[in-house]
Every structure is written in structure tokens, then in C-alpha cells.
Amino acid sequence: MRIIMKKIMPIILSLTIVLTFSACTSSKPETPAESEVTADSEVISEPEVTSESDVTAESSEESGTRTVTTVMGDIEIPANPQRVVVNWYIGDTLATGLNIVGYYGWMQKTMPFYDQMMVSTKIENWEQEEVMALEPDLIITYSKEDYETFSQVAPVLVIEESIKSPERTRIIGEATGTLETAEKTITAFETKLKNAKEIFNTEAFKGKTFSILEDWGSSGEWAGLSYETGSRGGTLLYTYLEQQYPDKLRELIETSGNGRGTISYEVAHEYFGDYIIWCRQEGTESEYAQSDIWKSIPAVVEGHVLEIPGEYQGLFYFDDVLSLEAQLDYLVEALNTLVD
């Protein structure tokens, strides 16, 4: 729905952002080799999460444009964008009902909006020439550098990555006149989230701890078990469902300042929670899961291991509102199968 009004009260965000990591949810994932860290590595702080926006909008019915105040200053964008190109914020943009003609990011069949990605154009090289060929009337991105690179191609709406969904979805909706659609999508997620929290308050889960772990093997630069608090469903589990880490893992996170990293095989058993979200790598068997120590871990003995097959990496890759809702459906159904 196009929203025309003289002024929308600003919701201002002071942001700090560190772009890190890996393959599936809170900040923009990269490959583990690029971003996994150990407790002995240099501390990389997680971006501060805030519910405030850095975008306000003022529309002009006569000109057919909207003035949007962003982290990059005031920009003019179409009041009703028709051809949107997106760097990273694919799900957030689709949740507002906007038409994406091109996107830059990984595509995998278990992503909840895979079909919509298939009918769009996957941008192989995030460069002026390839983006310009799609004739966008708006570019949405997390990167300030993109503003300088693409401003001559189309208006560039920068929303820094430390703003999390569903607030990102709301910001895009407000800036592009699609706020009504955005709010419907957000409400659907928040309703499911409320119901899921009731499940986590039942006897089976109340007061229990959770670990999200993945085996990277016994050798190599990133050897050991990778723990996660943001990607791989961490944003959903810890931020929105408000579940807790085991004490040992919490100590590691607090002392290292890292929300993700690797733990050696020798001590990994100390970091397992009452429930384990065990992420598998596609086409690879876990060495650790074949060991005797794995078989002695209480969560394993009690059958409290939720194994996520490697082909579901796509489902747990993004942390937009559409992905969070799909992850929630999967997680609740799977965890219910572990209850005696």
C-alpha cells in the first residue's frame, strides 16, 4: 500500500556494525574459513542490536518521489518502486511485497523464498555494469560503500546490518510505501513466536540450555566444533525465543567477546547444552559424532539432539522475518519430536 503523508516521525538509529562470518543468520554469513574464530583469536564484537530505525520518509505526490533520511543523508526514491535490486536483504524486501528484479547473494532450495529467487536474476558480480543492466529504480543494501558505487545507477537505500529483522522489514516498508504489507508479514511471525514461547515454557524445555554446534573436523585451520549464537538459527533461538547457553559456553562468549568460534575436540564436550542443535555439513560425515566421547554426552544419551541436515543450510542462512518464521516452524516441529 502506498502511504502518502507530509511527515513520518523519525526513528533514529545510532549504529555500529562489524561485518563478520559464516553461513546462516545474525550478521551477514561468509564461509567459515573466512570468519570462524577461536577463543584465542582477536576479539570481534557482535554488532549492537537496536530496535530503532535510521530511515524516515517524506513523500511528494506531485513529483512521485519520496525523500528518505538515511545513514547516508537524504535521498530521493520513487514513491512506488517497481524494479528493486537487493544486496543481501532479499527476504526483508520480499516481505514488503516489492518486486526484486535482481539480487546479490547465495541461493539454496530450502530458503523459504527460493521460488521467488528463481524468477529473479542472480547477480554474479556486484558491479555497476551488471546492476545497471537490470534497470533498477531502487537499490537496497547493507553497505555504505554501495552508496558511492551505485548512486549514479539508481537511488541507494542503505540500512546498516546491525539493524535486525523484523525492524529491517519495517524500515524498508516505511521508506517505499509498503508498510502495510510489511506489518502483516511481521504480525504473522510475531504471532507464531508468541505461541512458540509457550512451548518453550513447558516442562520439557523450561530452564534447559541449548548449544548450536557444527563439526569442522579434527585438522585444518578451523578444526574442532564450531559454536554459534547468531547464524545457523542462533538469532531465532537466543534473541527471539530467549533460550540460554550452557554456563561453560556463556563463559567463553563473555571472556572472548566472540559469539561464534571453534572449540577443540578435547574440550568440546564441556560446552554441550541440555539440547543440541547439530548442524551437518552436506556430503560430509562428522568425525566427532563417531567418537566414544560423543556417545557419553548427556544430551546425546537422552536423545536431545536436533540434527539439521546439510541440505537445510539455506533455511538457516538468512535472518530476515520470512526466514525467521520458516526456521521457527522447523525448529518447533523438530524439537517436539525429541520430547519423551
Is 319 inside a domain boundary? yes
Final residue in a domain of this structure, among 188, 211, 237: 188
Is 91 inside a domain boundary? yes
Domains: count for the chain: 2
Is 206 inside a domain boundary? yes
Same structural domain, 203 and 320: yes
- Cβ distance 240 to 26 under 8 Å? no
Residue 117 contacts by C-beta under 8 Å, 6 or more apart in sequence? 90, 103, 107, 111
Same structural domain, 184 and 320: no
Return the SS3 of 321: helix
Same structural domain, 174 and 236: no
Q: Phi/psi class of residue 113: alpha, beta or left (left: φ > 0; alpha: ψ in -120 to 50)?
A: alpha
> Residue 295 burial by CB count (10 A; 0-12/13-18/19+): exposed, middle or buried?
exposed
- Cβ distance 140 to 86 under 8 Å? yes
- The model carries a pTM of 0.80
* Nearest Cα to Cα of residue 66 among 180, 182, 178, 165: 178
Q: Which residues pair with 244 in a beta bridge?
A: 209
> Tell me, what CATH number does 104's domain have?
3.40.50.1980
Is 34 inside a domain boundary? no
Final residue in a domain of this structure, among 153, 188, 223: 188
- Cβ distance 184 to 211 under 8 Å? no
pLDDT per residue of the chain (340 residues) written in tens, 0 to 9: 333 333 333 333 333 332 333 333 333 434 333 334 343 333 223 333 333 445 555 544 455 999 999 999 999 999 999 999 999 999 999 999 999 999 999 999 999 999 999 999 999 999 999 999 999 999 999 999 999 999 999 999 999 999 999 999 999 999 999 999 999 999 999 999 999 999 999 998 999 999 999 999 998 888 999 999 988 999 999 999 999 999 999 999 999 988 999 999 999 999 999 999 999 988 889 999 999 999 999 999 999 999 999 999 999 999 999 999 999 999 999 988 887 5
Is 284 inside a domain boundary? yes
Final residue in a domain of this structure, among 168, 188, 208: 188
- Quickly count: other Cβ atoms within 10 Å of residue 263's Cβ: 22
Is 56 inside a domain boundary? yes
Same structural domain, 184 and 52: yes
Is 196 inside a domain boundary? yes
Return the SS3 of 235: helix
Q: Which domain holds residue 64?
A: 48-188
Same structural domain, 311 and 281: yes
* Nearest Cα to Cα of residue 175 among 66, 303, 92: 66
